[in-house]
């Protein structure tokens, strides 16, 4: 297997990665265009930055750490709005961490999840954030468990379920690793698992989190709760967790199962290629 295997997510009617470069990216979310910092955009942009600012409604300006503020570039631009993906709708909002509530680079994974789940399957979404993957899974009829340590993220995800006219996603406010380890002890199984662990963070009870310290335990527990014919999708963004490390762990815990390890990319409308971390698919 080549370490350079790439998986591409695509823009769609309500989202476009318009351009990237100079440490920033230009995106269209429905009718709203944003400029956000992007450390992987280390190349030159396709469109001059001065032109970006005439197109955009909002620009995120970083301050201390990862926080910052949104600078308004067009009068009366909304701070909250929603966009569609197929029959689903997701609520967006400007946050002081530069996110707006959706990771469009996951588009390829959404379609993969949708193609693999059937009504009545059990689906587990760990580090589930605002629940795009949970809504995708629930829309197939799968019994969907959404796990996140942030109450704000859970509330946002519930609003996305409502906006998408879905019902009965199971909400779990807990540390993702503790939850999946407990499910393993109980002998519970899932047909599909998605996990999008942060490189670092703080858990529900203030626990410090570093992916390189926890990924072994995560993969071990996931291998115990995954059905033999099931699938797992994991994205990683930590420079401490490279393709070689992911390959070794997947061989250890998912022996005999189909594996695909790739780098996740999106192409801008100006023919630039943006890297969005490593992607593991099992099954």
User: Do residues 148 and 157 make contact, with C-beta atoms less than 8 angstroms apart?
Assistant: yes
> Which of 186-190, 196-200, 262-266 has the weakest average pLDDT?
196-200
pTM of the model: 0.94
DSSP 8-state class, residue 105: G
pLDDT at 65: 75
Q: What is the dotted CATH code of the domain comprising 103-282?
A: 3.40.50.150
pLDDT at 93: 98
Distances (CA, A) of 129 to 172, 240, 246: 11, 22, 23
pLDDT at 155: 98
Nearest CA to 282 out of 166, 194, 177, 187 is that of 194
CA distance 216 to 147: 19
pLDDT at 239: 81
- Answer whether residue 85 shows pLDDT above 50: yes
- Answer whether residue 2 shows pLDDT above 50: no
Bridge partners of residue 68, in order along the sequence:
62
CA distance 42 to 23: 5
Pick the CATH number of 6-83 from 3.30.9.10, 2.60.40.1180, 3.40.1360.10, 3.40.50.720: 2.60.40.1180
User: Do residues 118 and 229 make contact, with C-beta atoms less than 8 angstroms apart?
Assistant: no
User: Do residues 48 and 32 make contact, with C-beta atoms less than 8 angstroms apart?
Assistant: no
Q: What is the mean pLDDT of the chain?
A: 95
Where are the alpha helices (H) located in 143-208, listed in sequence order?
151-163, 176-186
Quickly count: other Cβ atoms within 10 Å of residue 52's Cβ: 21
Q: pLDDT grade, residue 178 (50/70/90)?
A: very high
The CATH 2.60.40.1180 portion of the chain extends over 6-83
Do the strands 88-93 and 170-173 form a parallel or antiparallel pair, or are they unpaired? unpaired
Q: Which residues fall within 8 angstroms of residue 101, CB to CB, at 6 or more apart?
A: 90, 91, 92, 93, 95, 130, 156
The CATH 3.40.50.150 portion of the chain extends over 103-282
């Amino acid at each position: 297997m080549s370490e350079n295997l790439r998986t591409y997510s695509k823009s769609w009617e309500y989202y476009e990665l318009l351009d990237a470069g100079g440490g920033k990216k230009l995106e269209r979310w429905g009718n709203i265009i944003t400029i956000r910092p992007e450390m992987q955009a280390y190349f030159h942009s396709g469109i001059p930055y001065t032109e970006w600012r005439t197109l955009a409604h909002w620009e995120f300006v970083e301050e201390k750490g990862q926080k910052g503020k949104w600078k308004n570039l067009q009068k009366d631009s909304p701070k909250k709005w929603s966009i569609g993906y197929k029959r689903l709708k997701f609520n967006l909002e400007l946050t002081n961490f530069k996110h707006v509530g959706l990771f469009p680079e996951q588009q390829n994974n959404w379609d993969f999840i949708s193609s693999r789940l059937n009504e009545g399957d059990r689906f587990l979404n760990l580090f589930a954030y605002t629940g795009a993957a949970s809504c995708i899974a629930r829309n197939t009829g799968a019994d969907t468990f959404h796990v996140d340590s942030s109450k704000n993220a859970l509330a946002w995800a519930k609003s996305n379920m409502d906006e998408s006219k879905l019902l009965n996603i199971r909400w779990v406010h807990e540390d993702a690793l503790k939850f999946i380890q407990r499910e393993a002890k109980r002998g519970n199984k899932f047909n599909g698992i998605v996990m999008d662990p942060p490189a670092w963070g703080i858990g529900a009870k203030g626990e410090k989190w570093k992916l390189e310290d926890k990924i072994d335990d995560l993969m071990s527990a996931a291998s115990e709760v995954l059905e033999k014919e099931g699938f797992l999708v994991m994205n990683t963004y930590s420079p401490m967790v490279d393709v070689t490390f992911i390959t070794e762990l997947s061989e250890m815990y998912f022996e005999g199962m189909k594996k695909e390890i790739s780098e996740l990319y999106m192409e801008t409308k100006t023919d630039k290629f943006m890297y969005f971390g490593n992607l593991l698919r099992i099954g």
